[in-house]
Structure 1
Amino acid sequence: MEFYSVLFDQECMHCPVVYARDRQSFNGTYVNGQLVGKKPNISQARLLQHRDIVTIALHVTMLFSQALAARPSF
């Protein structure tokens, strides 16, 4: 399992987008109960949304939570 993020601005005024993908695991990786990848292939990246549930090999479960970025004051 691999997670990575993309930032769109230097000032971090927006939340980064976060992606996950399976890196050829034997038991698979699931997002919200849907299989997103397992051996023999590396899966395509999946964009995670707030409150997505990521499960690795049916043994480790994580809740993806993304805080809203602070809005600039005008």
Structure 2
Amino acid sequence: MSLGIWEMLILLVVVVLIFGAGKLPKVAGDLAQGIKAFKKNMKDEDQDEPVAPAHPAPRDPALLAADKVAADRDRPVV
């Protein structure tokens, strides 16, 4: 579905009535900046996809012992 000349003219009149003729250049500039930022972020997202490591990093033995002590402390005594 394409817009004809009359539909575009009606749309332009509605936009001018809503925003006013003075604010129209500022609104158009803000819209253009938003579109540029969106496109830039889409390109960056495609290039900077995080890659999961093949093997997880080994944990520090001291941290493993601390986790075990904390788990034992939280366990109820029977």
TM-score, length of structure 2 as denominator length? 0.18
Larger Cα Rg: Structure 1 or Structure 2?
2
| Higher RCO (Cα < 8 Å, 6 or more apart) | 1
Give 1 or 2: higher helix fraction: 2
